[in-house]
Structure 1
Amino acid sequence: MFVRLLLNTKSSITLMMPWWIGTGGAGLRTAFGLSAAGFKTAVISKLFPTRSHTVASQAGINAALGNMEEDDWRWYMYDTVKGSDWLGDQDAIHYMTEQAPRAIIELENMGMPFSRTEDGKIYQRAFGGLISHYGKGEIHRTCCVADRTGHAMLHTLYGQVCTPFFDESFTTMLGSI
């Protein structure tokens, strides 16, 4: 596989390695995972990574940690499937809701400065009508960094990705040899 880039200097370059296009939260996490797994990775972005739209996310990230009250990933799964009007990919929702606590702890270990309770646990707030016990009440499930969760996540991930970045670049050709 190769990618040809039009760089911000009006010159072009051809990369012959695994590459990742995009630097939002998902793009940076993918680049981190590829790099950590030993792949020689380059990140291509049309803007500086910490200016992607993920920075606008204020609310937080849902995970059934149970830091404020009892919670269960199965209740979170039910809540998510119901919220999708039963049209969401239930296998994907199952995986996402079951693995969400692990992803939150991973971000915490990377240095994401989550808001905390008085006893030091990650603070969780009620948000967006989240429910517990299969619809029997509201629950605090949203992990947040005040109202700057997206900003904190982007800066945390950007600080962890140890790979070349091609910022303000455009892909002009994708192909395989």
Structure 2
Amino acid sequence: MAAYEFIDHAYDVVVVGAGGSGLRAALGAAQQGLKVACVTKVFPTRSHTVAAQGGISASLGNMGEDSWQWHMYDTVKGSDWLGDQDAIEYLVRNAPKAVYELEHWGVPFSRTDEGKIYQRAFGGMTRNFGEGPVQRTCAAADRTGHAILHTLYGQSVRREVEFFVEYFALDLIMQDGACTGVTALKLDDGTMHRFRAKMVILATGGYGRAYFSATSAHTCTGDGNAMVLRAGLPLQDMEFVQFHPTGIYGAGCLITEG
């Protein structure tokens, strides 16, 4: 590090990545009054969340009876009983709250005639532990990710999150086994930047493009995973990569379920 000249920055929280997870993390920290930086290699609304079409599953019960227990059963079954059931329970219990939170921030979910959030059926969604189909997916037409990303970006700007756009995160700064920041390369002029922080949150997306055939964006290159490995920290469950089941082999083109 001494061989390079760095431009220094100091924040309470640095979030690496500005997709749905990164923006939600940055927004949550900013809501608590913390000074937040978001470092991203692409403009936030170009993050891969923008390509998500189908929607979000949550047991709102707007189109018929539903429960988080049924949602959990379907999720555990869908994971071939390999999923972390504590994490799955947390997910399905909190999904309705998360959807309403997004609604209140301004995500334009599709509506029923009564004005409730419209829900649609997707594969694997059942009522009463596998008896029949249920409508559980909340969507903003066929551009749910686009709607969420633009809404979260607007809310983050409103909360004065500072964005460092087209900064490529390079490595974690480790001191005595603790992460105290991150280094980044500013892509347009080649300058090196050092972000010091009390907390670093990695929300760098997947690594689908490590494989020959995938529908992930070409930005999904596992940058955060590599940073973690170079810092000598462990990664978990690397074999569980989600490939979209409907696509054109070799071309990487998605045939959406949405």
TM-superposed CA distance for 1:14, in Å, is 2.2
TM-superposed CA distance for 1:56, in Å, is 0.7
Aligned residue identity for 2:58: A
C-alpha distance in 2, partners of 1:172/1:100?
33
Match of 1:76, SS state, is helix
- Residue in 1 that maps onto 2:44: 49
TM-score (norm 1): 0.91
Q: Which of residues 162, 165, 171 is equivalent to 1:164?
A: 162
C-alpha distance in 2, partners of 1:77/1:145?
23
TM-superposed CA distance for 1:176, in Å, is 4.6
1:99 paired to 2:97: no
As a proportion of its length, which structure holds more strand?
Answer: 2
- Residue in 1 that maps onto 2:135: 140
C-alpha distance in 1, partners of 2:118/2:135?
9
Structure 2 residues not aligned, in runs of 5+: 176-258
1:35 paired to 2:30: yes
TM-superposed CA distance for 1:90, in Å, is 0.3
- Residue in 2 that maps onto 1:7: none
Give the number of the structure with larger relative contact order, counting CA–CA contacts within 8 Å between residues 6 or more apart.
1
Contact 2:74–2:124 (CA under 8 A) maintained in structure 1: no
C-alpha distance in 2, partners of 1:47/1:31?
16
Aligned residue identity for 1:169: Y
C-alpha distance in 2, partners of 1:143/1:174?
36
TM-superposed CA distance for 1:171, in Å, is 2.2
Which aligned pairs between 1:114-153 and structure 2 lie closer than 5 A?
114-153=109-148
1:112 paired to 2:138: no
TM-superposed CA distance for 1:175, in Å, is 1.3
Contact 2:120–2:137 (CA under 8 A) maintained in structure 1: yes
Structure 1 window deviating more from structure 2 (12-21 vs 88-97): it is 12-21
Deviating beyond 4 angstroms after TM superposition, the runs of 4 or more aligned structure 1 residues are none
C-alpha distance in 1, partners of 2:9/2:126?
47
TM-superposed CA distance for 1:61, in Å, is 0.3
CA shift digits 1:90-114 (9 cap, x unpaired): 0000000000000000000000000
C-alpha distance in 2, partners of 1:171/1:79?
37
Of structures 1 and 2, the larger Rg is shown by 2
Match of 2:24, SS state, is helix
Match of 2:8, SS state, is strand
C-alpha distance in 2, partners of 1:96/1:59?
18
Match of 2:42, SS state, is coil
- Residue in 1 that maps onto 2:172: 174
Percent of aligned positions that are identical: 59
Match of 2:15, SS state, is strand
C-alpha distance in 2, partners of 1:21/1:114?
27
TM-superposed CA distance for 1:12, in Å, is 5.1
C-alpha distance in 2, partners of 1:146/1:173?
38
TM-superposed CA distance for 1:168, in Å, is 0.5
CA shift digits 1:43-79 (9 cap, x unpaired): 0000000001111100000000000000001000000
C-alpha distance in 2, partners of 1:77/1:156?
28
Aligned residue identity for 1:153: I
Match of 1:145, SS state, is coil
Which aligned pairs between 1:67-106 and structure 2 lie closer than 5 A?
67-106=62-101
Match of 1:16, SS state, is strand
TM-superposed CA distance for 1:127, in Å, is 1.0
